[in-house]
Amino acid sequence: MATILVTGGAGFIGSHYIQFMLDHTDHTVINVDSLTYSANRFNNIDAELNPQYQFVQVDLTDPLQVSQLFDRFSFTDVVHFAAESHVDRSIHLGAEPFLMTNVMGTYRLLEEVRRRGIERFIQISTDEVYGDFPHGSANEETNLSPGNPYAASKAGADLLCMSYANTYNLPIIITRCTNNYGPRQHPEKLIPKMIQSLRAGKPVTLYGDGSMQRDWIYVHDHCTGVEAVRTKGNSGEIYHIGSGKPIPNLEVAKMVCDFMKASYSLIEFIDDRPGHDTRYCLDNTKINQELGWNPTMTWEDGITTTMDWYQSQTVWWSGVKY
């Protein structure tokens, strides 16, 4: 039986991964999170009474806290979701928290893992590390070319992970995923932000002309991809997780308007974000052929489920911090 350290489990994707693990395995899951503004601890995860689960508040940038955490538990696996995750904040509020958590926080974990040993370390990363990809799709060999401070901090963490796998022969694997959507995503992100605006009768804003394309994956599919990699992936490898179908932001906005019976006249175009990448797209061939993983949720079903969920929540919205 594994004892799995999941970092960032009070946030969006980490909380779904923990719920998935509690529902489908007997493993012990230790959720470690510093509870930044993007966490919504009690509303994102309802497992406090589950004997398989424990929450520990730890700031991964603090070496003493991280060391004490590893003194307290004998982890077999680390699945590292914790991050500063919002590109706009990395541009407008400054990159330092991104460098501290995404690079230094990862370094603190790697150092503990190097000293103590581990069976598996999964670094959860993003398609953003490849930068703008106007045509075709990036594969796992594509050069990194991050186009914003968030992406650069994730690329830095990925490189550090690969260097530790190579230098210390550690069982580290990187997953890089496309844009996630689904219940419990912080409303600073595109889809819940649009839903929140329309609920309040306000316009939804899109950068530039709305033609930027992102490849959207339902959060549950991301979790099954991570679990396929944790259980069947090869150390030192990188695996892509995505749907392979980029969609323009304007099309996403129109679908949200349709669902909420709002006029397209509520879609407003604002000045583009500095350095805005026009398109991301990942090639999923490797994870599909080597590990047999595929996403199962269609965009139409996923977006409907997501919007239904946000519409039915009241307590969850009240737990959102900025």
The answer to whether the beta carbons of residues 167 and 101 sit under 8 Å apart is no
What angle in degrees, to the nearest 10, is found between the helix axes of 249-259 and 299-312?
Answer: 50
Q: Residue 175 CB, nearest distance to ligand NAD (Å)?
A: 8
Stretch that binds ligand NAD, among 173-181, 199-207, 255-263, 280-288 (CB under 6 A): 173-181
Contacts of ligand NAD in 209-268 (CB under 6 A):
none
Tell me which of 59, 84, 128, 158 is the catalytic residue.
128
* 218 is a catalytic site residue: no
Strands (E), the chain: 3-7, 28-33, 53-57, 77-80, 120-126, 172-177, 179-181, 204-207, 213-218, 238-241, 246-248, 267-270
Burial class (CB in 10 A: 0-12, 13-18, 19+), 143: exposed
Question: Who's near 94: CB < 8 A, 6+ residues apart?
Answer: none
Tell the residue number behind the tokens 């060391």, with chain if given. 67
* 130 is a catalytic site residue: no
| Contacts with ligand NAD, 34-73, as mask; x by CB under 6 A | xxx-xx-------------------xxx------------
Locate 317 and state its tokens: 């919205």
Q: Residue 177 CB, nearest distance to ligand NAD (Å)?
A: 4
Label the pairing between strands 246-248 and 213-218: antiparallel
Stretch that binds ligand NAD, among 11-19, 106-114, 271-279, 299-307 (CB under 6 A): 11-19
Query: Binding of ligand NAD at residue 160 (CB under 6 A)?
Result: no
Tell me which of 127, 221, 227, 277 is the catalytic residue.
127
* 132 is a catalytic site residue: no
Question: Active-site residue numbers?
Answer: 127-128, 150
Site for ligand NAD, rule CB under 6 A: 7-8, 10-14, 33-36, 38-39, 59-61, 81-85, 101, 105, 124, 126, 154, 177, 179-180, 186
